[in-house]
Chain A
Amino acid sequence: MADTKYIGQNYTPPDLVAKVTGRARYAEDFRAEGMLFAKLLTSPMPHCRVRNIDASAALAMPGVKGILTADDLPDLGPNVERALTNEPFYAGEPILAVAAVDELTAAEAVEKINVDLEPLPFVVDPLDALRPGGPDARTTGNVWGAPMPGGVGPNAASPVKTIKWTGEQFADADEGRLPMGEPTEQWAYGDLDAGFGNAALVLDETMVVQSTGHHPMETRSAMAYWQNGKLYIHASTQSVAQTLPNVARWCGIMPQQVVLISEYTGGGFGSKGGGAVSTCIPAMLSKKLNGVPVMMRITREDENYIGRARTNMSGRTRIGFAKDGRITALDLFIVQDNGSYGPMGDHRSAGLAASIIYQPQAMRWRAISVLTNTPPRSQQRSPGPMQANGQRAKLTSAFIVEALDKGKQAFRWDERKAYSGQRRGAKVRGVGVAVGPHGSGSIGFDSLMTLRPDGKLYVQSGVGNLGTHSVMDLARVAAEVLAMPWEKVEVVWGDTGKGVPWSCLSVGSQTTHAMTRANFAGANDLKRKLQEIAAKDLGGSPDDYELSNERVHRKGAGGGLTYTQAAKRAIELGGKYDGHEVPEDINVMTKGAAAKHAGLGVMGVAKDNYPRNGTTYSFVIGFAEVEVDVETGKVTLIDYLGVGDVGTVINPRSLLAQIKGGSCLGIAHALQQKWVFDPKYGLMLSRRFHYSKPLTILDIPATMNADAVGLPDPETPVGARGVGEPPVGAGYGAVLNAIADAVGVDVFRRAPVTSDLVLMSLENKKRMHEPLRAHV
């Protein structure tokens, strides 16, 4: 789009004042008459079976209103996680919930419940599960098999299988190299043997990336009640439209019976992609108690267990380089710690990302996704590509070279490179660069908006308000197409009772791409209707009319209708003009929402049917300078720059914040954040913030910059792609490369690169850490 008024301009999102004054209400901020509180009883063991629950003493307590167990929840099919279970697969998994008049009573009631548990074999390290005779995480097996026929998407349904590797195959483990046995999946292209044969240098390296919890600031608390057979639920989700059918499924009801309110979400990072399964607990407790409101506050401790985490990956890479640096062959083997549920597909995304970033002439990817008795994983901001940093995909566009050039100059790369690696006192500097790639946009979603007689444009937004501002940004496109003053655009979001169109999951950097396309379609539908209404009333053909100054008028300065007049005419005309007739191809949710708005004004409603040739990827290039203190092992990040190739920029300030914030997550993975497990008892030691060590404001570099090349993607009408994930891998890779530049490539083979790890390796002049343990 050329000559834009709103796209590419900063603005103040309409929810900001509510946030800054404390008026914005997140899920736990709602109250209802007679509201009860729920508390969870969670498994103290990593794997066990519930033999018996005796809740009689608890239920006899005054103020205790009810109990919910797995038996009260619908069966969601084989291997599908439910909110409560009779066979916990990880310590911390909820077994039951109690509702009482207040939280203390609920907590006391939980303590009075006798649960008889039968301990079962467990495993917290994926390699232990693959060893001959090693324990299985489930009684049915230890790994997820390949997706079943017809399965689509990175997390397609798979069977649980049992695979053990041989003692011989484990011989490599004794030397710190990842053992490689039978994979569950693989693909290859090119001639791998020839590639290695032609290589001037062949490396064989093992690298371990740890799991970390998502830990959004807002835990997955929820409040629910029933009225007239409908469930009203206040929950925290990244994606409003997409969460509605999930809530219905978890509760065993129809989507039409659910009203989901989620106007503000305190972060998700992939952990609340389609909502949180635990939110059905207060809903089902309420149902059991005749609809009385139930609030379930999730503590930080609970969140640590049920709040999702990134998969752990151990990877072994054999890589051949030609003399000019070109990669001739790449043989990648990944052991993924999938956690207790899933199946996760990060290992697949990692393989794809490796093929895209490194462009090897020949490549093989083999992987196995292992079940462990550790908390469930979900996609975490850049799932897979961060850990990788198949097949050669055709991309819609990529301007990596432009981004690299821009960053190289802005970062003064050559100047810094000249002094990197030189020791000054105890300090040595290093610089690093990395490309963070990620799929960045889906297609085919719907748009719904109405231009009403009050002269305002109401844009219905079905994505979540999780802080990226894409929930509002998508309406900027409508304002642009309809030449509508932004002050007269009302974004309606966060409440399915108000009618929202079928929208993408706000995960995987999809939203900006998917929903700018959809709203471009919806706004153009509305524009066409305005032109047709004007032509009907004033003569001529619709194409004779254009939009400006809140009028649809003959091209030039001819006669026309004000938007208010046109909206009134649309209501008189009815049919498609005011939404009484809608396109056949839109989703049933959009049809329902359109029915709510029919007759209110001119309706723009459409599915994104724009073509797309290729896979949509965004890229961020990270540039980092670190200082390593070789006497203490401390790594300090001095400077950081992220440069995005993300298509047309919709909201510059928000984009740069995404690049910096996302990079910080990668930086945290590189330097400090991790999970630690006690392998003997299968219990987590890094619960809560203090032990999992997220980045603080003192850990960011003194200067932190971001930029974008701003070149439009030719395969989408607005030109914009998503940005949430790519900076994570960029930050992660750039910092690791900078550390290697400072102190040599042999210091670490796992992340995070903590002080003790650096110091031990430097003092002993070789890698000293145990490279293969999953959670240390």
Chain B
Amino acid sequence: MDQPDSPRSGVTRRAFIKGVIASGAVASSAAYLFRAGGEIFGQTSAPGSVERLITLNVNGQMRRVDVMKQETLAMTLRYKLGLTGTKIGCDRAECGACTVLIDDVPHYSCSVLTHTVRGRKVQTIEGLANGDQLHPVQQAIVDEQGFQCAFCMPGFTMAAVGFLKTNPNPTRQQLAHGISGNLCRCQDYDKILTAFMRGAEYMRRSS
């Protein structure tokens, strides 16, 4: 978080967070804040506020993108950069479906402001494979037929890839702890662990 609250800008970081808290606490439908690019409605962008047109390093590519100051990385990826592989399951850091790697560390992209990842390396599920060559962890999922509906799969996979970078040879239990920030409602956890243990093996072999 390197953006100061600016009393001159329409929506401050504090107000944004307050909005998030309020909408989470009442039966309100105003639970999500999102603004597409282009004309701005209901908010003036005062001089001195955050620059909107920024460059992001996503999956090894430098992408110019118009980002509102309160926009989350999940929304930028999905609605500005067309990277819909990153899923939004809860939008409140509960389920992990939106997990991406930021400088190789798994983060919930629903809870990261896009402006905070400037100058950092973002990797999504789309950036794992090398052309048609699947990442070892992806190959392991295919080989073990990991996951069922697979809506949680991208987030789980990024969490596992991130964890395996720090612990390439985990026990099943260590791996479970490493990816315990992700939910699967098909509750295919046993097979998910089997697939990722194989993924760990493939990664060790390929490195």
- Chain A interface (Cβ within 8 Å of chain B)? 10, 12-13, 16-17, 19-26, 28-29, 31, 37, 39-44, 61-63, 91-92, 100-105, 107-108, 110-111, 214-219, 264-267, 269, 297, 299-302, 305, 466-469, 653-654, 656-657, 660-662, 664-665, 668, 683, 688-690, 694-698, 700, 702, 704
Contact = CB atoms under 8 A, between A and B. Distances in A.
Which 5 A/B pairs are nearest by Cβ-Cβ distance? Answer: A22-B85, A266-B151, A467-B149, A467-B148, A664-B187
B180 A264 contact: no
B33 A107 contact: yes
Given A92-B27, A665-B187, A22 B126 contact: yes
A695 B182 CA distance: 11
B91 A299 contact: yes
Given A40-B29, A104-B33, A300-B90, A668 B145 contact: no
B126 A302 contact: no
Interface string B146-180: 01111111100100000000000000110011011
Contacts of B126: 21-23
Contacts of B172: 702
Given A21-B126, A107-B29, A688-B94, A218 B87 contact: yes
Interface string B76-108: 001000111111111110110100000000000
B148 A657 contact: yes
B122 interface: no
Given A20-B157, A104-B33, A217-B184, A13 B42 contact: no
B83 to A, nearest CB: 7
Nearest to A221: B88
B50 interface: no
Interface stretch (B1-9, B113-121, B190-198): B190-198
B31 interface: yes
Interface string B117-134: 000000011101100001
Contact of A19 (B36, B147, B180): B147
Given A91-B27, A300-B91, A12 B142 contact: yes
Contacts of A702: 172-173
- Central interface residue in A91, A218, A683, by most chain B CB within 10 Å: A218
A41 B29 contact: yes
Nearest to A660: B190
B42 to A, nearest CB: 5
Given A22-B125, A28-B88, 14 more contacts: A23-B85, A39-B29, A63-B42, A100-B41, A102-B34, A217-B89, A218-B151, A305-B27, A467-B186, A657-B145, A661-B187, A662-B187, A664-B187, A665-B187
B52 interface: no
A269 B134 CA distance: 30
B200 interface: no
Contacts of B179: 697
Contact of A302 (B31, B94, B134, B186): B31
A267 B128 contact: no
A105 B35 contact: yes
B13 to A, nearest CB: 16
Where chain B touches its partner, the secondary structure class is: loop
A87 to B, nearest CB: 17
Contacts of B145: 10, 12-13, 16, 653-654, 657
A270 to B, nearest CB: 12
A264 B193 CA distance: 23
- Central interface residue in B89, B125, B187, B193, by most chain A CB within 10 Å: B187
19 contacts: A19-B153, A20-B150, A21-B126, A22-B84, A22-B86, A25-B84, A44-B27, A62-B42, A102-B41, A218-B149, A300-B94, A301-B31, A466-B148, A660-B191, A664-B189, A668-B187, A683-B27, A700-B189, A702-B173
Nearest to A112: B42
B51 interface: no
A20 B160 CA distance: 13
Given A26-B87, A217-B95, A696-B183, A20 B29 contact: no
Contacts of B148: 267, 466-469, 654, 657, 661
A468 B188 CA distance: 11
B111 to A, nearest CB: 13
Nearest to A691: B94
Contact of B192 (A40, A43, A653, A697): A697
A101 B85 CA distance: 24
A102 B176 contact: no
Given A21-B129, A265-B149, A217 B183 contact: yes
Contact of B150 (A105, A467, A654): A467
B125 to A, nearest CB: 4
Contacts of B85: 21-23
